[in-house]
Amino acid sequence: MRLWRVAAALALVAPGCATAPLAPDPTVNLWGQWKIVAVDGQPTGASRNFNFELNPTYGVAQFGCNKGSGSYVIRDGWFVGGDHWIITAASCLNREDWLDFEHKGFNILSKPLAIERRANGAIRLRNRLGSIKLRRP
């Protein structure tokens, strides 16, 4: 009986902690150059080493020292394609934070992402693995 009460209490609290539902926006145009300003809510500093670019035939993402590139598809507000991108393997000496961004960023890109419009012209790419926030340079 006690276990049931704990489960019931967790059920009441859990919805307040839940992530907002994905809200893909098919009107967002992702083509062109972007700065990656946050990965999973953690600010990157948006330096010259955090970039995202989509051209008609391929895309490129840079999270710190390494870049990934390849083909992609955008349909109905969803970005799909990062799972087959080729990623460079440069070393990031003394930049453990960049390595964390790379691991998280490329992992997030590996699954379909909802393209969401945010305040002040920002865009968020989001799925169950996390999010990537973009701004125009």
Q: Give, in words, the CATH class of 22-135.
A: mainly beta
Average pLDDT over residues 95-116: 92
CA 117 remoteness from chain centre: 13
Average pLDDT over residues 44-55: 91
Q: Break the chain into its structural domains and give their ranges.
A: 22-135
Beta bridge partners of 74: 79
Q: For 24-38, write each residue's pLDDT tens digit.
A: 999 999 999 999 999
For a pLDDT cut of 90, what percent of the chain falls above it? 64
Beta strand 86-87 with 130-135 is: unpaired
CB 33 within 8 A of CB 137: yes
The average confidence (pLDDT) of the chain is 85
